[in-house]
Structure 1
């Protein structure tokens, strides 16, 4: 079994991070209002994830991307688990916009359908952007969870 280690990204890694996100059509990161992590498998970069501060009450878990050579090792689980547990923003509501086929993956971390929760405008706009015809081949859905702070 390969060892997966999580480390917080350093500011000097932001250009590399944004190149990786651009490769898959994800929104670029901004180091100033995000907590970005890099997953490593045996000292090789294996994936990325981030928490983005939306406002004083909401954050978005996103940018979960496991590089092709490292899929199937549990890297995505380690990334999401770490981000949910190490919520350094101290904000209780976490939003997630996963591809629809990944909804069961996020449900096991406590995310739920957001039908009965007031959605922040910035999150609603991003959901609309993600599901516009020119962005992704797969439908994006909206989930949220309230973390214990």
Structure 2
């Protein structure tokens, strides 16, 4: 017999330790399987379809349906008011204060004269007049009219 186990059809001899490990029951713990490849939701599928249709529509767009338009460039110049508004801060910064004249301020307080004072006093008394202090008077009608003929 040959010493090569593969040629003779016999299985190789294993050591007793290996045989014991192979023969004993495996002590595996139960594990829950977690699916890592999550399927897309209906909304995601719908968004993907819309995106695909949009891209397809852009790729197959017929350019002959567009109208030819000439571009017109407009050069809008600023108005005089806009220019003055822009220059105002610079003009204020460059202003020469030495050209100003010194002026003494005069306070003019108007003092009312006697007639104005009386008029104001009458107005204030009339506005605060108490009608309860008046006495009641019966009116008398006089029909005796004397006519002088000259």
Q: TM-score, normalised by structure 1?
A: 0.14
- Which structure would you say has the larger Rg? 2
Higher relative contact order (CA 8 A, sep 6+): 1
The structure that is strand-richer by fraction is 1
The structure that is helix-richer by fraction is 2
